[in-house]
Amino acid sequence: MKKDRVVIIGSTGSIGTQSIDVIKTVGDKKIVALACKSNVKKLFEQVKLTGVKLVAIYDEDKAVEFRDICSKNKISVKVLTGMDGLLKLATLKDADMVVISVVGMIGIRPTIEAVKAKKIVCLANKESLVCAGDIIMPLVRKYKVDLRPIDSEHSAIWQCLQGEKESTVKKVIITASGGPFYGRKREELKNIKVEDALKHPNWSMGKKITIDSSTLVNKGLEVMEAHHLFNMLYDKIDVVVQRESIIHSMVLFVDGAVKAELGVPSMRIPIEYALYKENRKFINENEIDWTKLDKISIGTPDLKTFKGLALAYEAIRLGGLMPSVYNALNEVAVKNFLDKKINYLEIVDFIEKGMKVFNKKKLNKKKFTIEDVESTMCFAKELFGKLHK
């Protein structure tokens, strides 16, 4: 039986690294190409591990460094660069499946091109659907592409929907851990430092998504993603706090029945399901010890303190480019918080201000192009520059 040939775009991040690990553990797929943004030292280690002969590096300056590393170690690898390099990997003729796990809006174009090339797309780049779901999902239907979510919450919903009719679904319920500051009020968050916000209670993730989790912006992005993935109206997508991160999400049906996907808080399980679907594989993952689990708690998110989630629902309601604006404003704010240029509360405050400015200037478009989506990042950067001179 021919092995599926896999390209991983975003291989050096948390999802990409674990995807390689899962594939190497199971052993019945072949990794044929890898791509990263700038972490060329880690990429080189992955090249040695997987034996790939083709890579793409988004940062062209880092590509020079990578070529030097390969030359010194006498390893021959073809190196592509920039967005063109990512797009060539996304449409690689010798690949059946593309894992897209880059962070940010740079994942949008590779996702679109992988869909057009009729690849199986395993998607961990939520910005693609948040910003361009109205463009991508019609293409998914047109080209009859198998688009598989890797996000733990969306994987859980996807699994719960297997074998069910769309007409029988009343609501989807996305769970949130609540992050490290659950239960605190706004005045208690004034002096939060970067190091504090990066201490997630349950999950080990990259810096950007960890900050997003702490502000609940991540849940807002997940609501937007679910809206597109499952063709659900936003008012049929609820968010609840599940502190133990045991329930990964749920589906409520019209007869009152609820299906939930439970498991240990690990991304290896949704990665495995995206790669293999119903052909589940043993991946040496820990199981829940039910004898030691004394409770599974459910709570309500505090939308006044963590208003990033409330703003996400507002962005979906306004529609058009507003979800993309929400995402772009957050990307800019989080980067500046990680660089210690703004304080913690300014992240969501900046999103709120930016959405108001965009609305007031009547820049929102109901029908838009990828160029329009990309222009929202320019808007966010320019606005930040004006507000923080």
Backbone angles phi, psi at 375, to 5 degrees: -70, -20
Tell me the pLDDT tens digit for each residue of 219-229.
Answer: 999 999 999 99
Total number of domains in the chain: 3
Range of the domain at 245: 151-305
Regarding whether 205 and 226 lie in a shared domain, the answer is yes
CB atoms within 10 A of CB 146: 13
DSSP 236: G
Rounded CA separation 9/274 (Å): 15
User: Does 314 fall in a domain?
Assistant: no
Regarding whether 142 and 128 lie in a shared domain, the answer is yes
Strands lying side by side in the sheet with 258-262: 237-241, 169-176, 247-253, 258-262
- Tell me the DSSP string of 97-119: EEEE---SGGGHHHHHHHHHTT-
Q: How confident is the model at residue 179 (pLDDT cuts 50, 70, 90)?
A: confident
Tell me the pLDDT tens digit for each residue of 186-211.
Answer: 999 999 999 999 987 776 677 888 99
Residue type at 182? Y
CA atoms within 13 A on the CB side of 338: 14
**Total-model pTM:** 0.92
Average pLDDT over residues 156-167: 96
Amino acid 125: pLDDT: 93
User: Does 312 fall in a domain?
Assistant: no
Is the distance from CB of 315 to CB of 323 less than 8 angstroms? Answer: yes
Strands lying side by side in the sheet with 54-57: 78-81, 54-57, 29-36, 4-9, 97-100, 120-123, 147-149
Average pLDDT over residues 97-121: 96
Q: How confident is the model at residue 168 (pLDDT cuts 50, 70, 90)?
A: very high
Average pLDDT, the chain: 95
Q: How confident is the model at residue 1 (pLDDT cuts 50, 70, 90)?
A: low
Structure tokens at 37: 């943004």
Task: Return the CATH number at 10.
Answer: 3.40.50.720
Backbone angles phi, psi at 37, to 5 degrees: -85, -55
The domain boundary residue, chosen from 305, 336, 353: 305
For the chain, give the percent of residues with pLDDT over 70.
99
User: Does 93 fall in a domain?
Assistant: yes
Regarding whether 198 and 142 lie in a shared domain, the answer is no
Average pLDDT over residues 235-245: 94
Helix (H, G, I), strand (E, B) or coil at 171: strand
Q: How confident is the model at residue 164 (pLDDT cuts 50, 70, 90)?
A: very high
Residue 148 has pLDDT above 90, yes or no: yes
DSSP 166: G
Amino acid 2: pLDDT: 72
The domain boundary residue, chosen from 133, 149, 165: 149
Regarding whether 140 and 194 lie in a shared domain, the answer is no
Structure tokens at 163: 């074998």
The structure tokens 């970067």 sit at: 194
The domain boundary residue, chosen from 127, 149, 171: 149
User: Does 213 fall in a domain?
Assistant: yes
Residue 339 has pLDDT above 90, yes or no: yes
How far, in Å, are 51, 96, 265, 374 from residue 20 at the CA level? 12, 16, 19, 30
Helix (H, G, I), strand (E, B) or coil at 137: helix
Amino acid 203: pLDDT: 66
Structure tokens at 192: 């939060």
How far, in Å, are 6, 157, 201 from residue 197 at the CA level? 34, 27, 10
